[in-house]
Structure 1
Amino acid sequence: MTSAAPTQLRKPYVTSYAEENLDLPLAFEWVDGMSRLTYRDALPLEWMFGVLWARCGTAREGRIQWNLVHTLRQRRCMMQGLCRVCGKSAIDPDTGRISWILTSALAGDFRSPWPTAHPPTCKAHVAEALTACPKLRREPPVVCTVSDYTPVAVLVNLYGADDGGRVVEIRHQIPVNLNDRHLLKQALATQLIVRLEDLQPVQG
């Protein structure tokens, strides 16, 4: 989430810990006449949206990695509308709308759908995030609410096989559309990207 540990922001729900990093026994397998990235001991639940997802622990203990996002918690936030700071619902119970902080300017056009890999931020923690997160201080933030959102892509690392048949990374952290089944078979997903609908700026 940030490049250095902030002094005020609590340990954000989506931030990763060093002790949660796991070895990834990657391999390729043939499925329906096509090569697909897998784990040597893969489980069916490790695929979602047609792509293999990065493994990670879930203890939330040890040395926090402020600049890294935890894959499973980020995906959970995106799919369930949870706050990236506290991990609780970011849905306003009165309006049903979801609070979001975007780090890129929208050029005044809130009518267009907006893709993002950043999870929502509940109203209770918007001010804290804006004050304490260095990334949000560097990039002019836009605070808004949305009525709905749809998964459209994943942030991935792409893999191939070298001359010796070893699995090697060939592209790092690139967005791939969920409709691109060819690239998804070579990919290890690390974050879910959603398209935000009906954006409305928050005044004040």
Structure 2
Amino acid sequence: MTTSTPTQLRKPYVTPYAEENLGLPLAFEWADGAPRLTYRDALPQEWMFGALWARCGTARTGKILWNLVHTLRQRRCMMRGLCRVCGESATDPDTGRVWWILPSALADGFRSPWPTAHPPTCKACVGEALASCPYLRREVPVVCTAGDYTPVAVLANLYGQDDDGRVVETRHQIPVGLGESHLLNRALATQLIVQVSDLQPVA
């Protein structure tokens, strides 16, 4: 979700709050013979798909940050097929297919797999999302269902070290494939990208 505050949309499940924004004490360490981005107090669960993930709280309190995405809740939605608005399952109980709102550019390519960082939207929340979300209105989206979805990449910031050994950002919000280990070692992942397939438009 982006741009200004919607007037009708509930506070979406994937939208973060100000008090969930945590500091990032980033550093580099040696792992398997190569430098790897880490936190100075990293926990094992903060790596997934070969990348370090952006740290954030889960309190859902404080000012809502409409123009940002909560990393952990977005990843949970993408892995479990949860709705980005209500956080409940986006799988249709009658068909077993997952409801999704995707860009209009997809209209001519339903037979091809489609990568996206946007979580599903359950059938019950589609109308509300289309009516209230500025991003979706601007994109002229297509409502469809997917038969399958598979993690293929992360959206991430890449980091390196300057001449003084300080950790510095070198690339901002770029897609990094899950097979690109040389980049995943320098990545701070913020969103999971999945490839949706077996797409069917909803009339």
TM range, normalised to the smaller chain? over 0.9
Q: How many angstroms apart in 2 are the aligned matches of 1:108 and 1:159?
A: 37
Runs (4+) of structure 1 moved beyond 6 Å?
none
SS in 2 for 1:112: coil
* TM alignment of 1:150-189, pairs within 5 A: 150-189=150-189
CA displacement at 1:106 relative to structure 2: 1.2
1:96-134 CA-partner distances (Å, limit 9, x unpaired): 000000134214221000000000000000000000001
Amino acid at match of 1:25: P
Contact 2:113 / 2:198 at 8 angstroms: preserved in 1? Answer: yes
Q: Which residue of 1 aligns with 2:13?
A: 13
Q: Which residue of 2 aligns with 1:82?
A: 82
* TM alignment of 1:22-171, pairs within 5 A: 22-171=22-171
Q: Which residue of 2 aligns with 1:190?
A: 190
Amino acid at match of 1:98: V
Q: How many angstroms apart in 2 are the aligned matches of 1:144 and 1:3?
A: 24
Q: Percent identity?
A: 79
Contact 1:151 / 1:195 at 8 angstroms: preserved in 2? Answer: yes
Amino acid at match of 2:191: Q
Q: How many angstroms apart in 2 are the aligned matches of 1:139 and 1:172?
A: 22
SS in 1 for 2:66: strand
Amino acid at match of 2:133: C
Q: How many angstroms apart in 2 are the aligned matches of 1:32 and 1:69?
A: 32
Which runs of no fewer than 5 residues in structure 2 stay unpaired? none
Which runs of no fewer than 5 residues in structure 1 stay unpaired? none
Deviates more, 1:64-73 or 1:106-115: 106-115
Contact 1:105 / 1:140 at 8 angstroms: preserved in 2? Answer: no
Amino acid at match of 1:96: G
Contact 2:85 / 2:125 at 8 angstroms: preserved in 1? Answer: yes
Q: How many angstroms apart in 2 are the aligned matches of 1:109 and 1:103?
A: 11
Q: How many angstroms apart in 2 are the aligned matches of 1:94 and 1:22?
A: 40
Contact 1:153 / 1:178 at 8 angstroms: preserved in 2? Answer: yes
Would you say how many aligned residue pairs link Structure 1 and Structure 2? 203
TM-score, structure 1 as length reference? 0.98
Contact 2:21 / 2:57 at 8 angstroms: preserved in 1? Answer: yes
TM-score, structure 2 as length reference? 0.99
Q: How many angstroms apart in 2 are the aligned matches of 1:147 and 1:139?
A: 23
Indicate yes or no: 2:199 matched with 1:202: no
